A = this chain, B = another copy of it.
Amino acid sequence: MNEMSAVKPQDALALALAGDMEAVNALIRERMASRHAPRIPEVTAHLVEAGGKRLRPMLTLAAARLCGYQGDDHVKLAATVEFIHTATLLHDDVVDESTQRRGRPTANLLWDNKSSVLVGDYLFARSFQLMVETGSLRVLDILANASATIAEGEVLQLTAAQDLKTDEGVYLQVVRGKTAALFSAATEAGGVIAGAPEPVVQALFAYGDALGVAFQIADDLLDYGGSSAAIGKNVGDDFRERKVTLPVIKAVAKADEQARAFWVRVIEKGDQRPGDLEQALELLQSSGALDAARAEAFAWAGKAREALESVPDHPLRAVLSDLADYVVSRLN
């Protein structure tokens, strides 16, 4: 990223795609309505209008535009992707029993778990209607597969939590489910709808996948060191929820007997006492786990940039490249 640049890459994306994003937002507002059940737009609006970055729909729009797409279906796909994302957030907050999201109370707290489960289902069905409207079976296939990977990753995370046998392979699968599957589907679908040649479609997939993995590793690292404002959640949330993320996996792999006993107590047994988070941070630091995880995040950002070498030369390509740097720049 140009260090003189004052504009963040996602803001540059938002500027470049302003007209398209206006159409996406209008479509989202139109399709989140319900003729019969006013609870649906209430819950959805709470989340959709909470000032999310709209990163995923912008990835779809950018991928389509940099492949020279001139039609309207990319707007439908972008709204589809945002609906899928919103549906997963609603269900995640129920599963994680979260009370805060984007600095505001969660829907499950303001209404109830029931509304979050059912409105999530509704948004998923609406996303499905939208993508059918594009008439592209290939796009439907991409998004159906992404949906399955997302749900599978979430279940895997549920069963892997509190289990110190979780290895980096399982972690990567969880990360693909949580984040990378929708990023890669967003970029790949954008290329497909634009009729891009196969190597370009593959490169767009690879970009989205690597960007998503870099993003999630960075997020998991920030949970052990970022500020609440930067990540929208509190430092140590994953620790308290006994999630086995990359830094912990790496620290456990290097742990001596005493350190291992600590991790078993706090993560597997859930016996957490005052001072344990500080002790965990010390072990993550001294074992080199934080540095190693940080290096992996940067490596995935590098893979994302490399993938862009195979997509058409276009001003948006540079912005996407900057974005890959940006998601890990939070770690500096």
Q: Identify the A interface with B (CB < 8 A).
A: 34, 36-40, 88, 91, 94-95, 113-115, 117-119, 121-122, 124-126, 128-129, 132, 135, 137, 140-141, 144-145, 147-148, 150-156, 158-159, 170, 173
Contact = CB atoms under 8 A, between A and B. Distances in A.
Given A158-B39, A159-B37, A159-B38, A118 B137 contact: no
21 contacts: A36-B152, A36-B153, A39-B155, A91-B121, A94-B117, A95-B113, A95-B117, A95-B118, A121-B150, A121-B151, A121-B154, A122-B155, A124-B147, A125-B148, A128-B144, A129-B144, A129-B145, A129-B148, A132-B144, A137-B137, A140-B140
Number of chain copies forming the complex: 2
Contacts of A128: 128, 140, 144, 147-148
Nearest to A155: B37
A304 B156 CA distance: 44
B115 A155 contact: yes
A150 B170 contact: no
Given A94-B113, A148-B126, A40 B137 contact: no
A177 B144 CA distance: 23
A40 B144 contact: no
Contact of A114 (B36, B95, B121): B95
A150 B173 contact: no
Given A34-B155, A122-B148, 7 more contacts: A36-B153, A37-B159, A124-B124, A125-B151, A128-B148, A129-B145, A137-B137
Contacts of A158: 39, 114-115, 118
A76 to B, nearest CB: 13
A169 to B, nearest CB: 9
A94 B95 CA distance: 11
B159 A39 contact: yes
A174 to B, nearest CB: 9
A124 B155 CA distance: 14
A37 B152 contact: yes
Contact of A156 (B36, B121, B150): B36
Contact of A125 (B95, B137, B141, B144): B144
Among A34, A95, A125, the most chain B Cβ lie within 10 Å of the Cβ of A125
Contacts of A137: 132, 135, 137
- With most chain B CB atoms within 10 A of its CB, the pick from A95, A113, A114, A151 is A151
